[in-house]
Amino acid sequence: MPPKKKRTAASSAALVQQASRVASLDMQRGGAVLSESQKRDVRASSAALALELGRIDEEAARLAATRSAVQGQADLNASLLAPVRKLSHDLLSEIFVLVVADYRIQDRNFGTPAIARVCYDWRYVAFSIPQLWTLVNIPNAWTRTPEAEVEAFVARSCQLPLHVHVEAYIWKVMEICVEEWEKSAETLKHIARLSAWRWRKLDIWGHFLVFTSQDTLDLPMLESVLVAPTIWDDWGRDVSEGRRLPLDFLRKAPNLRDATWEVGYPHVSLPWPALTAMTYILRDADADELGRVAADISRRAETLEVLHIRHEHEVGKFPPTSAPTFVIHKVSVAPNLRSLAVLGLGHAALPTFAAPSLSQMTLLHTVQTSGDNGPFTSIRRMLHAPRLAHSLRTLRLERVFCSGNRAWMQLILFLDDLRALSDLQVLCNYGRDAKMVDVIYVGVKLLHCLTRNEAAGSAERLPSLTHLSLHFDSDRYSLGKLQKPLKVLLDSRKSESVVDGVSLKALVQFTSDLGQEFEIP
């Protein structure tokens, strides 16, 4: 409740005088007549009462001020005794690093984080932690960030390696704004002059202007780069007529091993011949894009060790439609490729190369709709069974959907090829993109497929499997449908055996979302 308004001495005296007048009128109406001496006594009494009330008001004000000061000191004492005050600066630094790590680089700016504005002590700690200032984001902005602010931000990272990120999207502002792109390009150039020799990772999403405005840089620490020219040099111009994207300013990067390239535009030449890890981001996954991916993989076949091909389909259109087929003129061999991840329609590029040393494979958000076109068909075309049987050790399938018996047959044939597979992870968490009955259908059929059954000819399927993880995003309804076939599956693989001269290994680890009673060990 708000405090009551304090009476002043003047207001108290006015009330006393008003009360005296009322009393005098009452006495006059009653026939009483005051003598002059009585009137003087009444006036003197009223003045004394007013003075006393003024003193009371002053004392009340003094006590209120004292109470406020005491309460403030009590609050300060409580703050000083708070558990967080007992933390050492080293431990507080670790907490700050963990908290700030939850924020994506795209959500950061050149300002001061909130944790540095709580109190002087926290500000001192935050400004003394170089790790808090190693992610440098250059967002779209109507006005250019002052150079002094940029310099102060970069200086707080001391000499630690930096991750620099710049965005110049047209669809973020929904209008053409060359001024914004120019400001982003100039800010990136200024940051390069301050710290290019400390860059470890660089992401450039943006207009052609951001790339063309940069000077040649010496990048001795650069290990990873992302190149995404979202808008070409002239708005509305056919990109096939555009000039080659200039990346020479990033050529001097002797330690660069990981590059991400958006292949939506044809005139992009990556100036790094010895890349060991490549990520391709497809826009349309049409024959032209897939052909460019195939050609680039062929050029880098001797050095390529890790490969990701991503096509992120539109939300609400899962499973994605099948990728267009294109003529494979030549199959290149990637002898050093050990890890492969494919998202969406990127699997259509797989038949263009072979990977005899592949040991890890991940398929995400893709669909096998028939026996002729799909991820399992593409993989089987990429790697012949004998090579695949002796190399692949880990397989992760996340939201991979099979539609129809012919598609399931491709999955079974694919699993039959995996003679050396030891770790299989399946996540059927389709969420709202598929009906629960479809998830149950997929789950039951998959469990039957993995169950060892000599009569059904499946005893030799995945003979080396020792680690299995199955997550169906199940509720109580699907749990009842999946428990029985899951128990049969685990019983069939609980011990080692030899069938027709084939050594069948036992499961040593199993995890699922169907209850702890099924977990191994």
pLDDT of residue 172: 44
pLDDT band at 436 (very low <50, low <70, confident <90, very high): very low
Rounded Cα distance between 499 and 85, Å, is 66
pLDDT of residue 319: 52
Considering 11-15, 131-135, 372-376, 452-456, the range whose residues carry the highest mean pLDDT is 131-135
Question: Is the model more confident about 31 or about 371?
Answer: 371
Considering 348-352, 393-397, 406-410, the range whose residues carry the highest mean pLDDT is 393-397
pLDDT digits over 142-170, tens only? Answer: 667 788 888 988 999 999 999 999 886 65
Please check the confidence at residue 408 and state whether its pLDDT lies above 70: yes
**Strand (E) positions, 130-264?**
135-138, 162-167, 199-207, 224-231, 258-262
Predicted model pTM: 0.76
pLDDT band at 140 (very low <50, low <70, confident <90, very high): confident
pLDDT of residue 478: 62
pLDDT of residue 1: 45
pLDDT, average across residues 240-245 = 61
Choose the weakest-confidence range: 133-147, 218-232, 253-267, 490-504. 133-147
Long-range contacts of 81-90 (CB under 8 A, 24+ apart): 89/125, 89/128
Choose the weakest-confidence range: 12-21, 116-125, 474-483. 12-21
pLDDT of residue 236: 45
Helix (H) or strand (E) run with residue 365 in it: strand 360-368
Q: What is the DSSP annotation of 394-434? A: EEEEEEEEE-SHHHHHHHHHHHHH-SS--EEEEE---GGGS
pLDDT band at 278 (very low <50, low <70, confident <90, very high): very high
pLDDT digits over 164-215, tens only? Answer: 998 866 544 445 566 777 888 888 999 999 999 999 999 988 877 788 888 8
- Give the torsion through C-alpha atoms of 339, 345, 348, 349, to 10 deg: -50
Helix, strand or coil, per DSSP, at residue 105: helix
Backbone φ, ψ for residue 304 (5° rounding): -65, 125
Contacts of 59 (CB under 8 A, 6+ apart): none
Choose the weakest-confidence range: 232-236, 327-331, 486-490. 232-236
pLDDT of residue 96: 83
Would you say the C-alpha torsion 144, 147, 149, 150 has a positive or negative sign? positive
Residues in the chain: 521
Please check the confidence at residue 298 and state whether its pLDDT lies above 80: yes
pLDDT, average across residues 383-391 = 73
Average pLDDT over the chain reads 79
pLDDT of residue 304: 92
- Selection from 82, 93, 145, 146 nearest residue 123 by Cα: 93
- C-beta of residue 296 within 8 angstroms of C-beta of residue 274: no
pLDDT of residue 258: 94
pLDDT band at 65 (very low <50, low <70, confident <90, very high): very high
Choose the weakest-confidence range: 380-394, 397-411, 424-438. 424-438
